[in-house]
Amino acid sequence: MTSYFPRHGDHRYGVSHYDLTLRYRVSANRLEGTARLSVTAAEPLDVLELDFGPLRVSGVTVDGAAVRHTHRDGKLRLTLPRTLTADATVEVRYAGNPRPVRSAWGGLGWEELTDGSLVASQPIGAPSWFPCNDRPSDKASYRIAVTADSPYHVIANGVLTARRRAAGATTWVHEQAEPMASYLASVQIGRYRLDDADGTPLACPAGLAARARHDFGRQGQMMALFSELFGPYPFTGYTVVVADDDLDIPVEAQGMSIFGRNHVDGRRGFERLVAHELAHQWFGNSLTVACWQDIWLQEGFAAYAEWLWSEASGGPSADELAERWRRRLAMLPQDFVLADPGPALLFDDRVYKRGALTVHAVRRALGDGVFFPVLRAWTAGHRHGNVTTGSFAEHVARHAARPVGPLLSAWLYDKPLP
Protein backbone atom coordinates (compact mmCIF):
# COMPACT_ATOMS: atom_id res chain seq x y z
CA MET A 1 0.00 0.00 0.00
CA THR A 2 1.36 3.40 -0.99
CA SER A 3 2.08 5.74 1.92
CA TYR A 4 0.14 9.00 2.01
CA PHE A 5 3.29 10.69 3.33
CA PRO A 6 6.25 8.89 1.75
CA ARG A 7 8.76 11.44 3.06
CA HIS A 8 7.74 10.80 6.68
CA GLY A 9 8.76 7.79 8.73
CA ASP A 10 11.15 4.91 8.16
CA HIS A 11 10.24 1.24 8.67
CA ARG A 12 13.90 0.21 8.82
CA TYR A 13 14.11 1.14 12.50
CA GLY A 14 11.94 1.91 15.49
CA VAL A 15 12.19 4.23 18.50
CA SER A 16 11.20 2.83 21.89
CA HIS A 17 11.73 5.99 23.96
CA TYR A 18 12.11 9.74 23.45
CA ASP A 19 13.72 11.89 26.14
CA LEU A 20 13.14 15.56 25.25
CA THR A 21 14.73 18.37 27.26
CA LEU A 22 13.43 21.74 26.05
CA ARG A 23 13.85 25.42 26.93
CA TYR A 24 11.26 27.79 25.46
CA ARG A 25 11.22 31.58 25.63
CA VAL A 26 7.72 32.78 24.85
CA SER A 27 8.59 36.40 24.05
CA ALA A 28 11.15 35.39 21.41
CA ASN A 29 9.48 32.16 20.25
CA ARG A 30 12.86 30.53 20.85
CA LEU A 31 13.20 26.79 21.41
CA GLU A 32 16.37 25.02 22.53
CA GLY A 33 16.31 21.26 22.76
CA THR A 34 18.17 18.05 23.37
CA ALA A 35 16.46 14.89 22.10
CA ARG A 36 17.66 11.44 23.11
CA LEU A 37 16.18 8.60 21.10
CA SER A 38 16.42 4.91 21.98
CA VAL A 39 16.64 3.35 18.52
CA THR A 40 16.39 -0.28 17.44
CA ALA A 41 17.34 -1.32 13.92
CA ALA A 42 14.97 -3.64 12.05
CA GLU A 43 17.68 -4.30 9.47
CA PRO A 44 21.41 -3.43 9.26
CA LEU A 45 21.82 0.34 8.86
CA ASP A 46 24.80 2.44 7.84
CA VAL A 47 22.70 5.60 7.66
CA LEU A 48 19.89 6.72 9.94
CA GLU A 49 17.31 9.24 8.76
CA LEU A 50 15.18 11.21 11.21
CA ASP A 51 12.26 13.47 10.35
CA PHE A 52 13.12 16.98 11.52
CA GLY A 53 12.07 20.47 10.52
CA PRO A 54 14.03 23.69 10.03
CA LEU A 55 15.50 24.11 13.53
CA ARG A 56 19.30 24.37 13.52
CA VAL A 57 21.18 21.24 14.61
CA SER A 58 24.35 21.95 16.62
CA GLY A 59 25.50 18.40 17.26
CA VAL A 60 24.60 14.74 16.97
CA THR A 61 25.99 11.72 18.81
CA VAL A 62 25.33 7.99 18.56
CA ASP A 63 26.14 6.09 21.76
CA GLY A 64 28.13 9.13 22.88
CA ALA A 65 30.31 9.46 19.76
CA ALA A 66 29.90 12.46 17.45
CA VAL A 67 28.72 11.55 13.95
CA ARG A 68 28.58 13.32 10.61
CA HIS A 69 25.16 14.53 9.60
CA THR A 70 23.31 16.50 6.94
CA HIS A 71 20.03 18.33 7.47
CA ARG A 72 17.86 19.42 4.56
CA ASP A 73 14.32 19.07 3.22
CA GLY A 74 12.90 17.83 6.51
CA LYS A 75 15.42 15.01 6.95
CA LEU A 76 18.29 14.74 9.43
CA ARG A 77 20.63 12.13 7.91
CA LEU A 78 23.22 10.54 10.21
CA THR A 79 26.25 8.65 8.88
CA LEU A 80 26.77 5.93 11.46
CA PRO A 81 30.30 5.06 12.67
CA ARG A 82 29.47 1.35 12.37
CA THR A 83 26.65 -0.70 10.93
CA LEU A 84 23.74 -0.58 13.32
CA THR A 85 22.21 -4.02 13.84
CA ALA A 86 20.57 -3.68 17.26
CA ASP A 87 20.10 -0.82 19.75
CA ALA A 88 21.64 2.64 19.95
CA THR A 89 21.10 5.95 21.70
CA VAL A 90 20.94 8.94 19.38
CA GLU A 91 21.29 12.46 20.82
CA VAL A 92 20.44 15.58 18.82
CA ARG A 93 21.04 19.13 20.09
CA TYR A 94 19.15 21.90 18.33
CA ALA A 95 17.73 25.40 18.60
CA GLY A 96 15.78 28.03 16.69
CA ASN A 97 12.38 29.58 16.16
CA PRO A 98 9.88 26.74 15.75
CA ARG A 99 7.20 27.05 13.12
CA PRO A 100 4.55 24.65 11.88
CA VAL A 101 5.11 22.17 9.06
CA ARG A 102 3.30 23.35 5.95
CA SER A 103 0.56 21.06 4.67
CA ALA A 104 -2.68 21.00 2.69
CA TRP A 105 -4.50 21.59 6.00
CA GLY A 106 -2.44 24.57 7.09
CA GLY A 107 0.41 24.66 9.58
CA LEU A 108 0.92 21.54 11.72
CA GLY A 109 2.97 21.13 14.86
CA TRP A 110 4.46 23.79 17.13
CA GLU A 111 2.44 26.99 16.79
CA GLU A 112 3.08 30.34 18.42
CA LEU A 113 0.01 31.80 20.14
CA THR A 114 -0.69 35.36 21.19
CA ASP A 115 0.87 34.60 24.57
CA GLY A 116 2.25 31.09 24.62
CA SER A 117 2.32 28.12 22.28
CA LEU A 118 0.55 24.91 21.44
CA VAL A 119 1.36 21.73 19.55
CA ALA A 120 -1.18 20.18 17.16
CA SER A 121 0.67 17.73 14.93
CA GLN A 122 -1.81 15.38 13.25
CA PRO A 123 -0.74 13.92 10.89
CA ILE A 124 2.83 15.12 10.09
CA GLY A 125 3.64 18.05 12.39
CA ALA A 126 5.83 16.36 15.01
CA PRO A 127 9.13 17.17 13.21
CA SER A 128 8.39 20.87 13.75
CA TRP A 129 9.74 20.56 17.32
CA PHE A 130 11.70 17.33 17.76
CA PRO A 131 13.56 14.79 15.59
CA CYS A 132 11.54 11.61 15.26
CA ASN A 133 10.50 8.61 13.22
CA ASP A 134 7.25 10.21 12.15
CA ARG A 135 4.95 7.31 11.35
CA PRO A 136 1.89 6.32 13.42
CA SER A 137 2.95 2.69 13.66
CA ASP A 138 6.14 3.55 15.59
CA LYS A 139 4.92 4.16 19.14
CA ALA A 140 7.24 4.96 22.04
CA SER A 141 7.31 6.09 25.66
CA TYR A 142 8.29 9.72 26.34
CA ARG A 143 9.88 11.95 28.94
CA ILE A 144 9.25 15.63 28.16
CA ALA A 145 10.99 18.28 30.30
CA VAL A 146 10.15 21.89 29.42
CA THR A 147 11.62 25.00 31.02
CA ALA A 148 9.67 28.24 30.53
CA ASP A 149 9.34 31.60 32.28
CA SER A 150 7.58 31.09 35.60
CA PRO A 151 4.34 32.98 34.78
CA TYR A 152 3.59 30.28 32.24
CA HIS A 153 2.05 26.89 32.89
CA VAL A 154 3.35 23.93 30.86
CA ILE A 155 1.25 20.86 30.11
CA ALA A 156 2.56 17.84 28.22
CA ASN A 157 1.59 14.21 27.76
CA GLY A 158 1.57 11.82 30.66
CA VAL A 159 2.06 12.38 34.38
CA LEU A 160 3.70 15.49 35.86
CA THR A 161 6.57 13.94 37.82
CA ALA A 162 8.55 17.04 38.79
CA ARG A 163 8.32 20.83 38.86
CA ARG A 164 11.36 22.91 39.73
CA ARG A 165 11.62 26.69 39.90
CA ALA A 166 14.89 28.61 39.63
CA ALA A 167 15.89 32.14 38.54
CA GLY A 168 12.48 33.16 37.22
CA ALA A 169 11.97 29.98 35.20
CA THR A 170 10.16 26.74 35.97
CA THR A 171 10.97 23.28 34.64
CA TRP A 172 8.03 20.93 34.17
CA VAL A 173 8.76 17.22 33.71
CA HIS A 174 6.09 14.92 32.27
CA GLU A 175 6.45 11.19 31.67
CA GLN A 176 4.28 9.25 29.24
CA ALA A 177 4.73 5.56 29.99
CA GLU A 178 2.14 4.17 27.57
CA PRO A 179 3.35 3.94 23.95
CA MET A 180 2.50 7.02 21.89
CA ALA A 181 2.72 7.93 18.21
CA SER A 182 4.86 10.97 17.41
CA TYR A 183 1.93 13.04 16.09
CA LEU A 184 0.22 12.74 19.50
CA ALA A 185 3.17 14.17 21.46
CA SER A 186 2.20 17.64 22.65
CA VAL A 187 3.28 20.63 24.71
CA GLN A 188 0.91 23.43 25.73
CA ILE A 189 2.32 26.65 27.22
CA GLY A 190 0.18 29.52 28.45
CA ARG A 191 -0.92 31.62 31.42
CA TYR A 192 -3.27 28.89 32.52
CA ARG A 193 -5.20 28.44 35.70
CA LEU A 194 -5.56 24.81 36.71
CA ASP A 195 -9.18 24.01 37.55
CA ASP A 196 -11.48 21.02 37.68
CA ALA A 197 -14.50 20.14 35.54
CA ASP A 198 -16.51 17.16 36.78
CA GLY A 199 -13.38 15.43 38.05
CA THR A 200 -11.25 16.20 34.99
CA PRO A 201 -8.28 18.61 35.26
CA LEU A 202 -8.98 21.75 33.24
CA ALA A 203 -6.32 24.29 32.26
CA CYS A 204 -7.71 27.55 30.95
CA PRO A 205 -7.30 31.33 31.17
CA ALA A 206 -8.71 32.70 34.43
CA GLY A 207 -11.31 34.78 32.59
CA LEU A 208 -12.84 31.68 30.99
CA ALA A 209 -12.87 29.47 34.08
CA ALA A 210 -16.55 29.74 35.02
CA ARG A 211 -17.83 29.15 31.49
CA ALA A 212 -15.34 26.34 30.91
CA ARG A 213 -16.32 24.55 34.13
CA HIS A 214 -19.91 24.56 32.88
CA ASP A 215 -19.16 23.58 29.28
CA PHE A 216 -16.93 20.68 30.33
CA GLY A 217 -19.06 19.88 33.36
CA ARG A 218 -20.37 16.53 32.12
CA GLN A 219 -17.04 14.96 31.26
CA GLY A 220 -17.21 12.68 34.28
CA GLN A 221 -20.49 11.30 32.95
CA MET A 222 -18.96 10.91 29.50
CA MET A 223 -15.96 9.12 30.97
CA ALA A 224 -18.25 6.71 32.84
CA LEU A 225 -20.33 6.04 29.72
CA PHE A 226 -17.39 5.49 27.42
CA SER A 227 -15.60 3.30 29.97
CA GLU A 228 -18.71 1.14 30.12
CA LEU A 229 -19.15 0.96 26.33
CA PHE A 230 -15.51 0.98 25.15
CA GLY A 231 -13.70 -0.59 28.09
CA PRO A 232 -11.50 0.95 30.81
CA TYR A 233 -9.98 4.37 30.13
CA PRO A 234 -6.57 3.50 28.62
CA PHE A 235 -4.28 6.11 30.23
CA THR A 236 -3.24 7.35 33.64
CA GLY A 237 -4.96 10.73 33.35
CA TYR A 238 -6.80 13.15 31.11
CA THR A 239 -6.49 16.94 30.93
CA VAL A 240 -8.46 19.50 28.93
CA VAL A 241 -6.64 22.66 27.83
CA VAL A 242 -8.47 25.77 26.64
CA ALA A 243 -6.09 28.05 24.75
CA ASP A 244 -6.53 31.81 25.03
CA ASP A 245 -6.80 31.99 21.22
CA ASP A 246 -9.44 30.88 18.73
CA LEU A 247 -8.80 27.49 17.09
CA ASP A 248 -10.42 26.19 13.92
CA ILE A 249 -11.09 22.80 15.53
CA PRO A 250 -10.23 21.11 18.83
CA VAL A 251 -7.16 18.89 18.84
CA GLU A 252 -6.55 15.54 20.51
CA ALA A 253 -3.25 14.51 22.02
CA GLN A 254 -2.54 11.46 24.15
CA GLY A 255 -4.12 11.99 27.55
CA MET A 256 -5.11 15.54 26.57
CA SER A 257 -7.52 17.55 24.43
CA ILE A 258 -7.02 21.16 23.36
CA PHE A 259 -9.85 23.57 22.64
CA GLY A 260 -9.89 27.21 21.58
CA ARG A 261 -11.53 29.98 23.57
CA ASN A 262 -14.12 30.08 20.77
CA HIS A 263 -15.27 26.60 21.84
CA VAL A 264 -16.31 27.91 25.26
CA ASP A 265 -19.70 29.67 25.17
CA GLY A 266 -21.10 28.89 28.63
CA ARG A 267 -24.03 27.02 27.03
CA ARG A 268 -22.40 23.66 26.16
CA GLY A 269 -22.80 24.60 22.52
CA PHE A 270 -19.78 22.48 21.58
CA GLU A 271 -20.43 19.49 23.83
CA ARG A 272 -20.47 17.02 20.93
CA LEU A 273 -16.82 17.99 20.33
CA VAL A 274 -16.04 17.38 24.00
CA ALA A 275 -17.34 13.84 23.55
CA HIS A 276 -15.50 13.44 20.24
CA GLU A 277 -12.10 14.40 21.65
CA LEU A 278 -12.53 12.27 24.77
CA ALA A 279 -13.40 9.24 22.61
CA HIS A 280 -10.12 9.66 20.75
CA GLN A 281 -8.31 8.48 23.87
CA TRP A 282 -9.60 5.00 22.97
CA PHE A 283 -9.83 5.38 19.18
CA GLY A 284 -6.69 7.08 17.91
CA ASN A 285 -4.50 7.31 20.97
CA SER A 286 -4.67 3.82 22.49
CA LEU A 287 -5.73 2.17 19.22
CA THR A 288 -3.70 4.07 16.63
CA VAL A 289 -3.98 3.41 12.92
CA ALA A 290 -0.98 1.63 11.44
CA CYS A 291 -1.27 3.79 8.31
CA TRP A 292 -3.25 6.91 7.49
CA GLN A 293 -5.43 5.13 4.92
CA ASP A 294 -7.37 3.71 7.87
CA ILE A 295 -8.19 7.04 9.53
CA TRP A 296 -11.89 6.18 9.60
CA LEU A 297 -11.06 3.80 12.49
CA GLN A 298 -10.21 6.88 14.53
CA GLU A 299 -12.52 9.58 13.25
CA GLY A 300 -15.50 7.34 12.51
CA PHE A 301 -15.52 5.89 16.02
CA ALA A 302 -15.01 9.31 17.63
CA ALA A 303 -17.90 10.71 15.56
CA TYR A 304 -20.03 7.75 16.59
CA ALA A 305 -19.17 8.45 20.24
CA GLU A 306 -20.89 11.83 19.76
CA TRP A 307 -24.07 9.93 18.83
CA LEU A 308 -23.72 7.57 21.77
CA TRP A 309 -23.37 10.52 24.14
CA SER A 310 -26.41 12.19 22.56
CA GLU A 311 -28.38 8.98 23.02
CA ALA A 312 -27.35 8.63 26.67
CA SER A 313 -27.81 12.29 27.64
CA GLY A 314 -31.34 12.86 26.40
CA GLY A 315 -30.62 14.04 22.86
CA PRO A 316 -31.47 12.38 19.54
CA SER A 317 -30.77 8.65 19.41
CA ALA A 318 -28.00 7.13 17.34
CA ASP A 319 -30.71 5.77 15.01
CA GLU A 320 -32.07 9.28 14.46
CA LEU A 321 -28.64 10.80 13.91
CA ALA A 322 -27.62 7.99 11.56
CA GLU A 323 -30.72 8.52 9.42
CA ARG A 324 -30.16 12.29 9.42
CA TRP A 325 -26.55 11.98 8.31
CA ARG A 326 -27.27 9.29 5.75
CA ARG A 327 -29.71 11.67 4.04
CA ARG A 328 -27.10 14.43 4.05
CA LEU A 329 -24.32 12.22 2.72
CA ALA A 330 -26.60 10.88 -0.02
CA MET A 331 -26.75 14.39 -1.48
CA LEU A 332 -22.94 14.74 -1.61
CA PRO A 333 -20.51 13.33 -4.20
CA GLN A 334 -19.98 9.56 -3.94
CA ASP A 335 -16.37 9.75 -5.02
CA PHE A 336 -14.17 8.20 -2.35
CA VAL A 337 -13.44 4.88 -0.64
CA LEU A 338 -13.80 5.07 3.14
CA ALA A 339 -10.97 2.61 3.81
CA ASP A 340 -8.61 4.52 1.50
CA PRO A 341 -9.89 8.10 1.01
CA GLY A 342 -6.59 9.52 -0.26
CA PRO A 343 -4.55 12.27 1.40
CA ALA A 344 -6.66 15.08 -0.09
CA LEU A 345 -9.78 13.77 1.70
CA LEU A 346 -8.09 12.58 4.88
CA PHE A 347 -10.05 15.02 7.06
CA ASP A 348 -13.12 15.38 4.86
CA ASP A 349 -16.29 15.40 6.96
CA ARG A 350 -17.64 12.54 4.85
CA VAL A 351 -14.88 10.31 6.26
CA TYR A 352 -16.05 11.13 9.78
CA LYS A 353 -19.76 10.70 9.14
CA ARG A 354 -19.59 7.72 6.81
CA GLY A 355 -17.22 6.17 9.33
CA ALA A 356 -19.82 6.69 12.06
CA LEU A 357 -22.52 5.24 9.80
CA THR A 358 -20.34 2.19 9.23
CA VAL A 359 -20.03 1.65 12.98
CA HIS A 360 -23.81 2.05 13.32
CA ALA A 361 -24.42 -0.43 10.50
CA VAL A 362 -22.27 -2.99 12.33
CA ARG A 363 -24.16 -2.28 15.55
CA ARG A 364 -27.50 -2.81 13.80
CA ALA A 365 -26.27 -6.03 12.18
CA LEU A 366 -24.91 -7.52 15.41
CA GLY A 367 -27.41 -6.14 17.93
CA ASP A 368 -26.39 -4.32 21.10
CA GLY A 369 -25.94 -7.55 23.04
CA VAL A 370 -23.12 -8.57 20.71
CA PHE A 371 -21.88 -5.23 19.38
CA PHE A 372 -20.72 -3.65 22.63
CA PRO A 373 -18.88 -6.75 23.91
CA VAL A 374 -17.24 -6.96 20.47
CA LEU A 375 -16.24 -3.30 20.78
CA ARG A 376 -14.76 -3.81 24.25
CA ALA A 377 -12.85 -6.85 23.01
CA TRP A 378 -11.51 -4.74 20.11
CA THR A 379 -10.15 -2.02 22.41
CA ALA A 380 -8.78 -4.56 24.90
CA GLY A 381 -7.09 -6.72 22.29
CA HIS A 382 -5.29 -3.79 20.66
CA ARG A 383 -4.76 -1.59 23.73
CA HIS A 384 -1.77 0.75 23.18
CA GLY A 385 -1.17 -0.81 19.77
CA ASN A 386 -1.89 -0.25 16.08
CA VAL A 387 -4.93 -1.28 14.08
CA THR A 388 -5.98 -1.68 10.45
CA THR A 389 -9.27 -1.91 8.59
CA GLY A 390 -8.48 -5.54 7.80
CA SER A 391 -7.94 -6.47 11.44
CA PHE A 392 -11.22 -4.75 12.39
CA ALA A 393 -13.16 -6.63 9.71
CA GLU A 394 -11.66 -9.92 10.85
CA HIS A 395 -12.49 -9.12 14.48
CA VAL A 396 -16.15 -8.40 13.69
CA ALA A 397 -16.45 -11.47 11.47
CA ARG A 398 -15.19 -13.74 14.27
CA HIS A 399 -17.99 -12.62 16.57
CA ALA A 400 -20.89 -12.24 14.15
CA ALA A 401 -23.63 -14.88 14.05
CA ARG A 402 -23.98 -14.47 10.28
CA PRO A 403 -21.57 -13.31 7.55
CA VAL A 404 -20.83 -9.57 7.65
CA GLY A 405 -18.33 -9.48 4.79
CA PRO A 406 -20.75 -8.03 2.21
CA LEU A 407 -21.97 -5.38 4.66
CA LEU A 408 -18.45 -4.25 5.56
CA SER A 409 -17.28 -4.39 1.96
CA ALA A 410 -20.10 -2.10 0.84
CA TRP A 411 -19.44 0.49 3.54
CA LEU A 412 -15.64 0.36 3.44
CA TYR A 413 -14.70 -0.26 -0.20
CA ASP A 414 -17.61 0.76 -2.43
CA LYS A 415 -17.89 4.40 -3.42
CA PRO A 416 -21.71 4.59 -3.50
CA LEU A 417 -23.30 5.04 -0.10
CA PRO A 418 -24.98 1.76 0.93
Q: Is the dihedral of CA 196, 212, 302, 107 positive or negative?
A: negative
Over residues 112-130, the mean pLDDT reads: 97
User: What is the model's pLDDT at position 2?
Assistant: 80
Say how many C-beta atoms besides its own lie within 10 A of residue 390's C-beta.
Answer: 12
Are 321 and 357 in contact by the 8 Å Cβ rule? The answer is: no
**254: nearest Cα among 402, 140, 362:** 140
Are 358 and 392 in contact by the 8 Å Cβ rule? The answer is: no
Q: What is the mean pLDDT of the chain?
A: 97
User: What is the model's pLDDT at position 12?
Assistant: 97
Residue 251 pLDDT grade (very low, low, confident, very high; cuts 50, 70, 90): very high
Residue 401 confidence (pLDDT) above 90:
no
- Tens digit of each residue's pLDDT (9 = 90 or more) over 201-216: 999 999 999 999 999 9
Q: Which domains does the chain have, with CATH numbers?
A: 1-190 (2.60.40.1730), 288-413 (1.10.390.10)
Residue 273 confidence (pLDDT) above 90:
yes
Residue 1 confidence (pLDDT) above 70:
no
Over residues 312-340, the mean pLDDT reads: 97
Q: How far apart are CA 385 and CA 179, in angstroms?
A: 8
Beta bridge partners of 49: 77
- Tens digit of each residue's pLDDT (9 = 90 or more) over 143-201: 999 999 999 999 999 999 999 999 899 999 999 999 999 999 999 999 999 999 999 99
Over residues 107-134, the mean pLDDT reads: 97
Percent of the chain with pLDDT over 70: 100
Q: Is the pTM of this model over 0.95?
A: yes
